[in-house]
Amino acid sequence: MSSMAATLSDSVVITKRNLIKVKRVPDLIVFATLSPIMFVLLFRYVFGGAIQLPPGTSYGEFLLPGIFAQTIVLGSTTTGASLAEDLQKGLIDRFRSLPMSRSAVLIGRTVADAGLNIISITVMALTGLVVGWRINSSVGEAVLGFVVLLLFAYAISWLMAMVGLLVRTPEVVNNASFIVIFPLTFVANTFVPLETFPSVLRTFAEWNPVSAVVQSARNLFGNTSPLAPTPDAWSLQNPVLYTLIWVVLILAVFVPLSVRAYRRAAGR
């Protein structure tokens, strides 16, 4: 077997293993879907009225792409916690003692987590449709919108993979990633328009890749108002391109680093 084919076949085996867990632990799915629903309802009805939007925009339409982005980026932290758990339970030792591809455990993990993200984004989109979110673009654009969201989350999964392998305690991985993910998803155009930010924070938010992801989704789902001001920053004028640059950058750095961390991973 060529090494590419071997890596692929091993990755399929590991992906299958990870998805079986999803099937056996229904709580995983329940919480992966309940929390997005909660976020949609919370922001839509609690904050919705209080947030100033550009003229011609409904908060339902503005909000959903932001919720999509935040939820699936948070969903990617699962990757780190799951790998840390595998390490603790000695499974990574077992895998490392097998004549299998050195990257398959990580590929299988990140792909399975992308699968979970697809489920939660589907649930969120359906909930969104109920509370007034609409797709006002072509099918092609809408699909691209979801692809951009999922690609960015996939890249974050690889970052989290490295964190999980280095930190080695699932609870710590969760706490550590919240500290990073919350500011990243809140200091952005996720829930409020950037015009409301103080200037330093605003510059950060404009160049924050999460803002570009959200902006891409809004553009591609047709959730922006023609009356809204054109963004000042290049990153938000070309959000899809800017997002893809980040995706490539994150993968280029963290795929090799995570594989390296895996090769050296010491169990207990």
Q: Which stretch binds other proteins (CB under 8 A): 75-83, 94-102, 154-162, 227-235?
A: 94-102
- Smallest separation, CB 100 to other proteins (Å): 4
Site for other proteins in 101-130 (CB under 8 A): 104
CB of 232 or CB of 264, closer to other proteins: 264
Q: According to CB under 8 A, which one of 39, 95, 154, 191 is a site residue for other proteins?
A: 95
Please pick, from the candidates 30, 31, 47, 89, the single residue that binds other proteins as defined by CB under 8 A: 89
Q: Which residues in the 170-199 window bind other proteins by CB under 8 A?
A: none
Q: Which stretch binds other proteins (CB under 8 A): 18-26, 44-52, 162-170, 233-241?
A: 18-26
**Cα 14 from Cα 35, distance rounded (Å):** 27
Question: Distance between CA 193 and CA 56 in Å, rounded?
Answer: 13
Q: How far is the CB of 15 from other proteins (least distance, A)?
A: 11
- Of 143, 148, 111, give the one whose Cα is nearest residue 244: 148
Nearest Cα to 44, choosing from 146, 142, 134, 133?
133
Count interface residues toward other proteins (CB under 8 A).
Answer: 26
Which residue, chain included where needed, has tokens 């990243």? 184
What secondary structure does DSSP assign to 167-200, as a single string?
H--HHHHHHHHHHHHHHHHHSSTTTS-GGGS-HH
Distances (CA, A) of 3 to 8, 77, 95, 150: 8, 29, 17, 27
- The residue from 34, 47, 90, 232 that contacts other proteins (CB under 8 A) is 90
**CB-CB contact of 92 with 265 (8 Å):** yes
Examine residue 17 and tell whether it contacts other proteins (CB under 8 A).
yes
Question: Tokens standing for 224?
Answer: 């922006």
CB of residue 164 to other proteins, shortest distance in Å: 17
Name which of residues 23 to 42 contact other proteins (CB under 8 A). 24-25
Using the rule CB under 8 A, give the single segment among 56-64, 84-92, 125-133, 152-160 that binds other proteins: 84-92
Q: Residue 230 has which token pair?
A: 């054109």
- E runs forming strands in the chain: none
* 13 is a site residue for other proteins (CB under 8 A): yes
Length of the chain in residues, anyone? Answer: 268
- With tokens 């829930």, the residue in question is 191
Question: Which of 96, 187, 197, 222 is in the footprint of other proteins by CB under 8 A?
Answer: 96
Residues at the site binding other proteins, with contacts judged by CB under 8 A? 1, 6, 9-10, 13, 16-17, 20-21, 24-25, 89-91, 93-100, 104, 266-268
